[in-house]
Structure 1
Amino acid sequence: MTSPLGGDFVARPDAVLAGLRERCPVARVRTPAGQPVWLVTREADVRAAFLDPRLSLRGGPPKPDRPHRAMDMTLVNYDPPDHTRIRRLAAPAFTPGRVAAHRRRTEQLAADHLAQLGTPAAVDLMADFAEPFAFAVLCEVFGIPGAAAGRLHRSVTDLIRHRDTERAVDELDAVIREQLADRRAAPGDDAFSTVLHTWEASGEATEAELVDLLAMLVLAGFDSTVQMLGLAVLALLDHPAELARLRADPALMPRAVDELLRWDTPGPFATRRRALTDVTIGGTVIPEGSGVLLSVAAANRDPRGRAAPDRLDLTRPGGSRHLTFGAGPHYCLGAALAKLELTAALTALLHHWPAIRLARPAASLTWTGGHQHRRLTALPLLLT
């Protein structure tokens, strides 16, 4: 059994996934940790698998040797009907109307961060812009005040970088519970208040489930957006004709964002699933109990689903049909907010820095993380 997901996979997953998709679209492989898993790579199979209730996300219960903490059970550890019950608590905070209400403030935050940077000779897009911008939007949407923002930033970044994780989880748990107490005393119009109000009105979940949900929303909405912004800028700089096209016609931006989301993603695979019974996918029988990884990155570039998938085309018809945000019951709750942030950030970047280019070859960039979540550590840019 092969292990194709190690080595330089995080830097160039497309080459590995394309080979699997064409030669063995449902392949039994080992993860870099040595665990056997079935890899599904063709678009039709991945779409069908997202909707198949026989592929479960349910995780085991948290350890009983300590009190419950945030992130012990997240939304992706549940199957319907429990998943549906808990997801309902957050859905009102992320409707298209609620997300659209943040548009002007998000655009202003992007412009303000770029104005503070000015026009130096060089910047690191990730540390100098993407991370502070995404965190500022997170605080805006969730109504995190300045006093708590620093603690939240420290805990979230430590968890992402796997530094002192026990302390980071404790601090994240404390911040979430403090913010809930503040909203009970003085509700606002932020996502924390909306989720809390829905929870109090529904009576459908425990307080532990509420804390888990809010912690997941905060954590998931930050680093994925930071990394996607870096990948989007990298893709545009690697395709100067498309970048020039976008500069000439800024109205293309919504379609461009969907194409950039299709083109590359920090998460090549959906959350690992487990087969509850024997399941046949693409003519291959996956035995009961097996782990299953659905490759959204491979599906997004499947030539059976779209013409010339290995060409970046910012005017691609039907571009929103990509699977980067998943499909079915587990479709990403924050998809509309992520698109809003990418649209605002890229629009501001192209306006404020009209002549950016890579400071060193793309092949020399450093990647961390693993096959489930890739991280571009830095994106050095020259601005002149």
Structure 2
Amino acid sequence: MTTTDTRSPLGGDFIAHPDAVLAGLREGCPVARVTTPAGRPVWLVTRAADVRAGFLDPRLSLRGTPPQPGRPHRALDMTLVNYDPPDHTRIRRLAAPAFTPGRIAPHRPRVEQLATARLAALGTPETVELMADFAEPFAFAVLCEVFGIPEQTVPKLHRAVSDLLGYRDTERALDGLDAVIRAQIADRLAEPGEDVVSVVVRAWQASGEVTEAELVDLLAMLLLAGFDSTVQMLGMCVLALLDHPGELERLRADPALMPRAVDELLRWDTPGPFSTRRVALADVQIGGTVIPAGSSVLLSVAAANHDPRSHQDPDRLDLGRPGGPRHLSFGAGPHYCIGAGLAKLELTVALTALLARWPAFRLACPPTELSWSGGHQHRRLKALPLTVCP
């Protein structure tokens, strides 16, 4: 079954409340041809088995358009998600060693210190704005720690990242990010360490298969993607816990639940309801529907994570849900999120620190007054005001 909708189901209130739209598509029209809010046609795939298969299907291409010849290269001209294998594999293998469990786990004590210090710096306020007061500075501090960004470079990197995410003077911001990345590469070539940039640069030197431009793009993408998604996911985790006070108290009573709770919260909500847009290289049959060659395809991670065919009682938040992490919030297959381990470490540490610091907290405004920005492929919670009991 297919449908074409001239009114985009991805507009309006979708950013704040995507669940109802996605559930309706998943149960009524699991492979649906709709339009985006910009008026572009796209196929939405919403059932878990089909989404997982789509992640693994080489006929659904992520290949982007290279920048025009003759223009000087600049960071983020082509990111890792703009390549298909074997190019994707060739570039990704530079970064993979930097994000193994063995390299991420030793960062935990320092990440815990950063979380504790940030909360302590807030003092004992009656209200806090979680995103600006904690989530953003904490995630950025972790990023600088793990990537080995020197203290004197932090303000310039923060300005570039903040402007890019806020769509402010993006040309200047891209120039600033490019300059930071190239300076960090030069520093590691002269004096390598054990941080992420050093590990990637060493692998680049040994490889001989990746251009300097591809190296700059890779490091820029890792920095940018590793920041905002974690900030937004932390806000959504806290919001989900506030919406389910029984589960919040369950977690307070049993901190050993935290690793499983983080995976359940990742299943429950995600900043990215869809994976990166793909293009069908040939006619592709999904769920009994043929998607024509040349079509744009969005694989709905959020819909798959709530598919009753894959998750028992999926619309119930269960922080002790058995079965391990079966969500698709980090994707699957060759493009599985390379920073998943670091993101889970940050979420685990941050939530643990919040619960330890504040015996109680609640929304400081009605849920209907929460404001969202972004688009259907990346939702952003603008602010999360909390009344806290220090």
Q: 1:200 aligns with which of 193, 196, 205?
A: 205
Q: Provide the aligned C-alpha RMSD in A.
A: 0.7
1:278 to 2:279 alignment: no
Q: 1:375 aligns with which of 380, 384, 388?
A: 380
Q: 2:30 aligns with which of 25, 29, 40?
A: 25
For 1:119, the aligned partner's letter is T
Q: 1:53 aligns with which of 43, 55, 58?
A: 58
Residue of structure 2 equivalent to 1:111: 116
Residue of structure 1 equivalent to 2:10: 5
Q: 1:233 aligns with which of 238, 249, 253?
A: 238
Residue of structure 2 equivalent to 1:216: 221
Deviation at 1:65, TM superposition (A): 4.6
Query: Does the aligned pair in 2 maintain the 1:273–1:293 contact within 8 Å?
Result: yes
Q: 1:256 aligns with which of 253, 258, 261?
A: 261
For 1:322, the aligned partner's letter is H
Deviation at 1:319, TM superposition (A): 3.9
Residue of structure 2 equivalent to 1:243: 248
Deviation at 1:281, TM superposition (A): 0.2
CA deviations on 1:259-301 (whole Å, 9 max, x unpaired) are 0000000000000000000000000000000000000000000
Rounded to whole Å, the distance in 2 between the matches of 1:300 and 1:215 is: 29
Query: Does the aligned pair in 2 maintain the 1:368–1:376 contact within 8 Å?
Result: yes
Rounded to whole Å, the distance in 2 between the matches of 1:244 and 1:42 is: 32
For 2:137, the aligned partner's letter is P
Give 3-state SS (helix, strand or coil) of 1:71's partner: coil
Rounded to whole Å, the distance in 2 between the matches of 1:210 and 1:355 is: 45
Rounded to whole Å, the distance in 1 between the matches of 2:100 and 2:308 is: 33
Rounded to whole Å, the distance in 1 between the matches of 2:169 and 2:79 is: 20
Question: After superposition, where does 1:124-203 map in structure 2 within 5 Å?
Answer: 124-203=129-208
Q: 1:321 aligns with which of 305, 326, 345?
A: 326
Rounded to whole Å, the distance in 2 between the matches of 1:166 and 1:243 is: 43
Residue of structure 2 equivalent to 1:14: 19
Rounded to whole Å, the distance in 1 between the matches of 2:368 and 2:30 is: 28
* Alignment TM-score, normalising by the size of structure 1: 0.99
Unmatched 5+ stretches in structure 1: none
Deviation at 1:63, TM superposition (A): 2.1
CA deviations on 1:221-266 (whole Å, 9 max, x unpaired) are 0000000000000000110000000000000000000000000000
Rounded to whole Å, the distance in 1 between the matches of 2:158 and 2:206 is: 30
Query: Does the aligned pair in 2 maintain the 1:119–1:353 contact within 8 Å?
Result: no
Rounded to whole Å, the distance in 1 between the matches of 2:324 and 2:34 is: 30
Give 3-state SS (helix, strand or coil) of 2:328's partner: coil
Rounded to whole Å, the distance in 2 between the matches of 1:298 and 1:356 is: 30
Rounded to whole Å, the distance in 2 between the matches of 1:25 and 1:318 is: 25
CA deviations on 1:334-365 (whole Å, 9 max, x unpaired) are 00000000000000000001111100111210
Deviation at 1:317, TM superposition (A): 1.1
Rounded to whole Å, the distance in 2 between the matches of 1:117 and 1:250 is: 23
Deviation at 1:147, TM superposition (A): 1.1
Give 3-state SS (helix, strand or coil) of 2:352's partner: helix
Q: Post-superposition, which runs of at least 4 consecutive aligned residues in structure 1 deviate over 4 A?
A: none
1:83 to 2:66 alignment: no
